[in-house]
Amino acid sequence: AQSVTQPDIHITVSEGASLELRCNYSYGATPYLFWYVQSPGQGLQLLLKYFSGDTLVQGIKGFEAEFKRSQSSFNLRKPSVHWSDAAEYFCAVGLNNAGNMLTFGGGTRLMVKP
Amino acid sequence: DAGVIQSPRHEVTEMGQEVTLRCKPISGHNSLFWYRQTMMRGLELLIYFNNNVPIDDSGMPEDRFSAKMPNASFSTLKIQPSEPRDSAVYFCASTYLGGGLGEQFFGPGTRLTVL
């Protein structure tokens, strides 16, 4: 079965600093990969997704992620963090033959220092 | 589109009571998912439906939980009887199952507190 690991439970960065959130997955083939963001008291919102093609994908709010097959990783990055980026971030993997079912990582809570 | 709609947004009930959570997926979507989120266990998939048919309910914790989807625009998740350990945020999500794997759109969630 596929699994998703987000090694960092909490991350604190200063406003304006760069950000990288790690995501590793376990699956025998190329999965579909997603990053979602959850603001306090809200549902999850899709930031970006990777299905195939260019391994560097651009998302909303200035985020990007890079799929690295050799490392089974799909890390999320942002060059300059804003205070409004403080939220919880979830990496997810899906299988096309599993009826759209997603497996989520445990999440990384991002805090932004002024 | 209004997005995925869940009701109620908050529910406080006493142990032993029946709780019904409701979800209206995005119009045109044919897959619907129920998730539970807690601090201890994170985000867990409880059950999902394709074209109103339950496909995988292996995440449903026990027989106290049941879910239905009588038509394409409505689903319920029922807990009977409820217990304090059921306290969590329950999310409904929907997507279109077509030629590939689509984005799941999440509702705002129902925060359930069982006293």
Q: How many CA atoms lie within 13 A of B53 on its CB side?
A: 5
Q: What is the pLDDT of residue A2?
A: 74
Of B33, B43, B97, the CB nearest to A90: B43
Q: State whether A44 and B45 contact (CB < 8 Å).
A: no
pLDDT in tens, A12-36: 999 999 999 999 998 767 788 999 9
d(CA B14, CA B113): 8
Q: What is the pLDDT of residue A84?
A: 95
Looking at CA atoms only, how far is residue B43 from chain A in angstroms? Answer: 7
Q: What is the pLDDT of residue B48?
A: 92
Q: State whether A99 and B103 contact (CB < 8 Å).
A: no
A87: confidence class by pLDDT, cuts 50, 70, 90: very high
Looking at CA atoms only, how far is residue A96 from chain B in angstroms? Answer: 5
d(CA B46, CA B67): 9
Q: Which residues numbered 47-106 in B keep a CB inside 8 Å of some CB on A?
A: 48, 50, 55-56, 91, 93, 95, 97, 100-106
A77: confidence class by pLDDT, cuts 50, 70, 90: very high
The pLDDT of A69-97, averaged and rounded, is 92
| Per-position pLDDT tens, chain B of length 115 | 689 999 999 999 999 999 999 999 999 999 999 999 998 888 999 999 999 999 989 899 889 999 999 999 999 999 999 999 999 999 999 998 776 667 889 999 999 999 9
Give the count of Cβ contacts less than 8 A between chain A and B. 57
In chain B, % helix, strand, coil (3-state, to 5) comes to: 5, 55, 45
The pLDDT of A74-78, averaged and rounded, is 98
**Which percentage of chain A shows pLDDT scores above 90?**
71
Looking at CA atoms only, how far is residue A18 from chain B in angstroms? Answer: 26
A97: confidence class by pLDDT, cuts 50, 70, 90: low
d(CA B96, CA B111): 26
B-chain residues near A102 (CB < 8 A): 33, 45, 104
Residues near B89 by beta carbon (within 8 Å), at least 6 away in sequence:
B36, B37, B38, B109, B110, B111, B112
Q: What is the pLDDT of residue B2?
A: 81
Q: What is the pLDDT of residue B103?
A: 83
Q: State whether A46 and B103 contact (CB < 8 Å).
A: yes
Of B97, B101, B108, the CB nearest to A43: B108
Of B56, B91, B107, the CB nearest to A101: B56
Of B91, B101, B102, the CB nearest to A43: B91
Q: State whether A49 and B109 contact (CB < 8 Å).
A: no
Contact A63, A1 (CB under 8 A): no
